[in-house]
A = this chain, B = another copy of it.
Amino acid sequence: MKVLVADDDRVLADLVAFTFRRERFQVIQVFDGEAAWQRWLAERPDLVVLDVNLLRLDGFTLCQRIRQQADTPILLLTVRGEEDDIVHGLQVGADDYVVKPFSPRQLVARAEAVLRRAGKVVTPAVRQVGELTLDPGRREVRIGQTEPVPLTPLETRLLDYLMLNAGRVLTVEVLLDHVWGPEGGDRDMLRQLVRRLRSKIEPDPAQPTYIETVAGLGYGFVASSK
């Protein structure tokens, strides 16, 4: 999930960037309106967070320009007391606003709300099911209190998706699609991937306790266990 952060106050911009990165967003940071416009064109981020007071190209104009091209969610940063800014901002196409000074939590909450309204899936920082904790940003799992086990990119994607849908059985087709993309892999590859993943996280890979096999269907992450 890419977010473009535009603010000419570098301290604040860094803080906003930090906050989003903490939530596993990919952050693109710019410090003036013109740069924001260029990067928006080049990167097409999932979300734009911008200060109304921007150098070289002000927030409202930028807002309008983006709106003319796409419906990328836009979150405005405004100063308390400038209610006119908010109204004007919403008129030119912003989706929501946050008044400075704001708490990072509030910012993220607003951002996620806006993204959800736009129909996007917001991915959490770490995924936890039962005693397994997956950290996709570091590509590692922790089983209970043990040392983290490093995972490969494909293993991470598979486990992430299985844990996201814990308790449900996912068909081979769905898994292939999600891990390798359309036209991606075949059954053999998935079989090997599951095997390698099990060898890393299952105490006894021959008697799996986390990743169950449902013959003729696919695989599922066992929800119970505590």
Q: Contacts A173-B26, A177-B28, A182-B39 given: A139-B214 contact, CB under 8 Å?
A: yes
Q: Does A103 contact B (CB under 8 A)?
A: yes
A105-B11, A214-B139 given; A21·B165 CB < 8 A: yes
List the B side residues contacting A215 at CB < 8 Å: 139, 150
A30 to B164, CA, bound (A): 18
Q: Which A138-187 residues sit within 8 Å CB-CB of chain B?
A: 138-139, 150, 152-153, 164-165, 168-169, 171, 173-174, 177, 182
A201-226, CB < 8 A from B:
214-217
Determine the interface band of chain A, counting residues with CB < 8 A from chain B: 35 or more
B15–A11 CB distance below 8 A: no
Q: A42 near B: Cβ within 8 Å? A: yes
Count of identical protomers in the assembly? 2
Closest B residue by C-beta to A14: B22
Q: Give chain B residues whose Cβ lies under 8 Å from the Cβ of A27.
A: 174
CA distance A137 to B152 in the complex (A): 29
State A169–B14 Cα separation when bound (angstroms): 17
Contact between chains at B103 and A138 (CB < 8 Å): no
Asked if A199 lies at the interface with its beta carbon under 8 angstroms from chain B, I say no
Annotate A117-154 by CB proximity to B: 1 below 8 A, 0 otherwise. Answer: 00000000000000000000111000000000010110
For A168, give its contact among B21, B150, B173, B216 (CB under 8 Å): B21
Q: Are A42 and B182 in contact (CB under 8 A)?
A: yes
A22 CA to B164 CA in the complex, in Å? 13
Whole-angstrom distance from the CB of A166 to the nearest CB of chain B? Answer: 12
Instruction: Determine whether A101 belongs to the interface, using a CB cutoff of 8 Å to chain B.
Output: yes
Complex CA distance for A182 and B27, rounded to whole angstroms? 13
**A169/B15 contact (C-beta < 8 A), A26-B174, A216-B153 known:** no
Sampled A-B contacts (12; CB under 8 Å): A11-B104, A14-B164, A15-B18, A18-B165, A22-B168, A28-B177, A101-B101, A101-B103, A101-B106, A137-B217, A138-B169, A152-B216
A interface residues, Cβ below 8 angstroms from B = 11, 14-15, 18-19, 21-22, 26-28, 39, 42, 100-106, 137-139, 150, 152-153, 164-165, 168-169, 171, 173-174, 177, 182, 214-217
